[in-house]
Amino acid sequence: MPKNPRFSPSSRSRATRNSARVIEVLAYPSVQLLDVTGPLQVFATANEQIVEAGGTSPYVLRVVAKGRACVTASSGLEIATELLPRAGSGLDTLLVAGGPGVDAAASDPVLLDWLRQRVKKARRVASVCTGAFLLGASGALDGRRAVTHWSYCAELARRFPAVRVEPDPIFVRDGAIWTSAGVTAGIDLALALVEEDLGRATALAVARYLVVFLKRPGGQAQFSEALSLQSAEDEFGALHRWISTHLAGDLSLSRLAREAGMSERSFSRHYARATGLTPLRAIERLRVEAARRMLSETRLPVKRISQRCGFGSEETMRRSFLRVLATAPQDYRRRFGS
């Protein structure tokens, strides 16, 4: 495939001033394939973009594992690996992948001892998904903020009470330690690492080439309200799609019931059973999500956004943001705006 012709050569300067950064991805049997390959592809594409612009590759990439030339991922695909480097050898970034095999890896005293020494040697350390359990077992997360896949956050907090687990963000940075949520969040984390190393222009070029979101800030929710409502897709999927295109219109209970082809009483009962929310609360969350996207992706005035999303006024939107996200719209934009 052709490289992105719009990549700016000016963004190569920060890469060429530095020697190549060694990035090690720790794998093990039954590792999650995308936890390894997603971040690797981000760094590999950064190399390609920099070289295409006339620079030299900023990263040396290695997948390492204990005592084997390859590991079999949970998907059944084999991944070629290098033997664990000497604990004292140089590296820049250590990235620990997650997967079903993480518990066995976290119970291996030899691997944990290597990991503890490697964490001390690395400039920064990151985990993808349940890779946080390996870092937790090594003690690297003690006293730090961390995240993992949303369905494992409670377990991470239970096993490692010294870790301050934050269940919502896509990724969390606490000093030199980065942790990310499930699977594809490793791509978001890797893009953030590339941006830190090589600048926003390079990260943007990589994201554009890989056809992924330019940037999902780390503090954004792991999953959207629209996604969380998909548990009711069979019964109310068509209604949710209709709501998403009529956020500024009449979304009264009677209008929703009519659209669903039910009486108001029957609709309220069935909807709450299917989603765990009242129709009023679901609409509020969908409006907040739509407004959140506009705040982070556009420069529309807050007043215009509140109108487009059906809040009617800035104050109503502010109260909903505080209730749903525990932050005000202006604060959200300052934190996550593009």
Among the listed residues 16, 24, 34, 21, the one whose alpha carbon sits nearest the alpha carbon of residue 212: 34
Is the pLDDT at 50 greater than 90? The verdict is: yes
Contact status, residue 63 vs residue 36, Cβ threshold 8 Å: yes
64 Cβ contact list (under 8 Å, min separation 6): 24, 25, 26, 27, 81, 82, 83, 84, 85
Q: State pTM to two decimals.
A: 0.68
CA 136 to each of CA 7, 86, 165, 300, 338: distance values in angstroms, whole numbers, following the listed order: 39, 22, 11, 42, 33
Among the listed residues 243, 320, 253, the one whose alpha carbon sits nearest the alpha carbon of residue 280: 253
φ, ψ (nearest 5 deg) of residue 149: -55, 140
Q: How many CA atoms lie within 13 A of 171 on its CB side?
A: 27
336 falls in which pLDDT band (50, 70, 90)? low
Q: How many CB atoms lie within 10 A of CB 96?
A: 30
Pairwise pLDDT comparison (123 vs 184), residue with the higher score: 123
Contact status, residue 127 vs residue 156, Cβ threshold 8 Å: no
Helix (H) or strand (E) holding 122: none
Window from 17-21, 124-128, 199-203 with minimum mean pLDDT: 17-21
3-class DSSP state for residue 266? helix
Among the listed residues 144, 115, 158, the one whose alpha carbon sits nearest the alpha carbon of residue 28: 115
- Alpha-carbon gap, residue 230 to 236, rounded angstroms: 9
3-class DSSP state for residue 170? coil
Q: List pLDDT tens digits, range 193-239.
A: 999 999 988 888 898 888 776 555 545 555 555 555 655 667 888 89
141 falls in which pLDDT band (50, 70, 90)? very high
16 falls in which pLDDT band (50, 70, 90)? very low
- Alpha-carbon gap, residue 162 to 126, rounded angstroms: 18
- Alpha-carbon gap, residue 208 to 216, rounded angstroms: 13
Among the listed residues 179, 143, 178, the one whose alpha carbon sits nearest the alpha carbon of residue 160: 143
Q: List pLDDT tens digits, range 93-104.
A: 999 999 999 999
Is the pLDDT at 10 greater than 70? The verdict is: no
Residue type, 178: W
The confidence score (pLDDT) of residue 317 equals 96
Among the listed residues 63, 68, 58, 69, the one whose alpha carbon sits nearest the alpha carbon of residue 35: 63
Q: How many CA atoms lie within 13 A of 285 on its CB side?
A: 18
- Alpha-carbon gap, residue 202 to 45, rounded angstroms: 10
The confidence score (pLDDT) of residue 9 equals 34
- Is 129 labeled as catalytic in the residue annotation? yes
Q: What percent of the chain is modeled with pLDDT above 70?
A: 87
Q: List pLDDT tens digits, range 229-286.
A: 655 667 888 898 899 899 999 999 999 999 999 999 999 999 998 888 899 999 998 9
Is the pLDDT at 338 greater than 60? The verdict is: no
Q: Which of 70, 129, 153, 309 is flagged as catalytic?
A: 129
- Longest Cα–Cα distance of the chain, Å, equals 70
Helix (H) or strand (E) holding 38: helix 33-52
What are the residue ranges of helices labelled H in the chain? 13-16, 33-52, 102-106, 109-121, 131-138, 153-159, 185-198, 200-210, 225-228, 233-244, 253-260, 264-275, 279-297, 302-308, 314-325, 329-336
Pairwise pLDDT comparison (323 vs 52), residue with the higher score: 52
